[in-house]
Amino acid sequence: MFQRAPIRHCKNCGSAVAYRIPDDGDTRERAVCPNCDTIHYENPLNVVGTIPVLDDRVLLCKRNIEPRWGKWTLPAGFMELEETVAQGAARETTEEAGANFRMGDLFAVMSVMRVGQVHLFYRAELLDDRFDPGHETIEARLFHEEEIPWDDIAFRTVREALRLYFEDRRSGNFGRIHTVDIT
C-alpha cells in the first residue's frame, strides 16, 4: 500500500488539519481543515513519455539524475500544470533526448499504486537520428530489440512498455491502448 507523508497544514489558511471522513458524503479519510473546512485531496502524480521509434529501432536515454542514475529509460517525466498529457510527453522527449519527432497515439496507461503514480506512454515517430540530450540525459541512443540493455532498464514501467511495444510490432497490431497495473 502506498504511504506518503501526511498533510499537516491547510494550504489555504495554514491551520493544522485533521484526518477524518468529510461530512459531504465522501467515503475516504481526508485531510480536513477545522478552521476553513477545506478538504485536501491526495491524488496520484502523472508520468508522461514516449516510445520514440526510427525504422525498427527505439530511442532510449541514459539517466544523468537519480533515481537510477546511469540506467536506461524512455524519455518521460512528471506532467506539468497547464499542459495536456500529449504536450507533457512531447516536452519530456524534447528535454531529455533533443529528438525531432512526430507524436503518435496513446500506447499504454500504467497504474503504479505503490508509488501513487500513473504512467502514460505515447508512440512517437522519430524524423531523424540526430539527438541533443538535455542535462538529465548522459546519452540518447537507438536500439534494435535484441540490443536493448534489459538488465539496465531504470523502471519496471519502461520495461513493460518496451515489452508491449515489441509484442505489438511483431503482431502488426497497434490498434489498442494497453492498460497495466504494476504492483
**Structural domain count of the chain:** 2
Residue-wise pLDDT tens digits, 59-71: 999 999 999 999 9
pLDDT at 183 over 90: no
- Boundaries of domain holding 36: 1-42
Residue-wise pLDDT tens digits, 125-169: 999 999 999 999 999 999 999 999 999 999 999 999 999 999 999
56, 123, 172, 178 from 102: Cα distances, Å:
16, 9, 20, 20
Amino acid at 46: N
Which residues, listed in sequence order, are joined to residue 181 by a DSSP beta bridge?
111
What is the b/e burial string over 24-47, where b = at least 16 CB atoms within 10 angstroms of the residue's CB? eeeeeebbbbeeeebeeeeeeebb
**CATH number of residue 36's parent domain:** 2.20.70.10
Amino acid at 62: K
* Same domain flag for 6 and 66: no
What is 57-79 written as a DSSP string?
EEEEEEE-SSSSTT-EE-SEEEP
* Same domain flag for 55 and 109: yes
* Same domain flag for 78 and 22: no
* Same domain flag for 83 and 168: yes
Which residues, listed in sequence order, are joined to residue 47 by a DSSP beta bridge?
78, 119
* Same domain flag for 112 and 167: yes
Look at residue 3 in the predicted model and tell me its pLDDT.
65
- Do residues 164 and 110 lie in contact, with contact meaning Cβ atoms separated by under 8 Å? no
- Give the ranges where the chain is alpha helix by DSSP (H): 85-97, 156-171
d(C-alpha 142, C-alpha 9), whole Å: 47
- Identify the residue whose cell numbers are 539524475: 65
pLDDT band, residue 23 (cuts 50/70/90): confident
